[in-house]
Structure 1
Amino acid sequence: MSYPPPSGPGWGEQPHKGDQPHWGEQLPYTPPPPYGQYGPPPSNSGNMNVMAILALVFAFVFAPVGILLGHMARRQIRQTHEDGEQLARWGLILSYVFTGLYLLFCCGWIGLVVWAGSNSGTTT
């Protein structure tokens, strides 16, 4: 008893010209965009500045260190053209905000302690 040979694209048949490319096939060459038009944005292979990431992290952990790291990251990014400018900027913004809130809280706490400890003249 003989069976008919298997058929289909995976059994020796060549795909038609209009089919989607299969795994392992190379796509046809696409020329660059014409002169005067924008091409894809340049990529610098994903080099993220580590200090920019740390500036954002330290904005929540210990804000004064976040300020220092944010300024250092922005200087490095200007020199090396790495990614992370927005991370460094947000790290700086949040670090300054949290440092200001911390100083406001400390001044309010000191004022409350001085006010509560002051003699109001009611003692005998």
Structure 2
Amino acid sequence: MSNPSNIQAPAAAYAPPPVPGKTLGIISIILPFVGLGLIGLILGIVGKVQAKKAGYKNTPAVVGIVLGAISVVVGLIVTITIIAGITAVAQQCQQLGPGVHQQGSVTITCGS
């Protein structure tokens, strides 16, 4: 007969500690897709710094930084393009005066 005192209990499963800043990194990946690229960029940087201080790699934070930076650059390009277009139309209207004007194949409507 075996002695029950010789039976060892299974070792407890070891859960590694969470990577500091990983949640911020994941959030920073999502934010550029909902129009909040600058906030995503900032959270990615914060998450990366937190992980680096603790000695961990934080891949989601790096991806969030890249996506946030791309989002900010694209947003700036779109904004500059829109402002340039509005400025060009405003200058045309200033020269043409109020009314509807045909410039080649483009119709420009200027207010009063």
TM-score (norm 1): 0.56
Letter in 1 for 2:77: L
**Alpha-carbon distance, 1:52 to partner:** 1.0
Q: Is the alpha carbon distance of 1:46 and 1:59 closer, same or farther for their aligned partners in structure 2, counting shifts above 3 Å?
A: farther
Instruction: Give the Cα separation in 2 of the matches to 1:123 and 1:66.
Output: 44
Matched, 1:115 2:88: yes
Instruction: Give the Cα separation in 2 of the matches to 1:122 and 1:60.
Output: 41
Matched, 1:94 2:67: yes
How many positions carry a matched residue from both structures? 81
Which one of 38, 41, 46 corresponds to residue 64 of structure 1?
38
SS of 2:92's partner is coil
**Alpha-carbon distance, 1:81 to partner:** 3.4
Q: Which has the higher strand share?
A: 2
**Alpha-carbon distance, 1:123 to partner:** 4.4
Letter in 2 for 1:111: A
Identity of aligned residues (%): 15
- Structure 1 residue ranges, 4+ long, deviating more than 6 angstroms after superposition: none
Q: Is the alpha carbon distance of 1:109 and 1:99 closer, same or farther for their aligned partners in structure 2, counting shifts above 3 Å?
A: same
Letter in 1 for 2:33: F
**Alpha-carbon distance, 1:88 to partner:** 0.6
Q: Which has the higher helix share?
A: 2
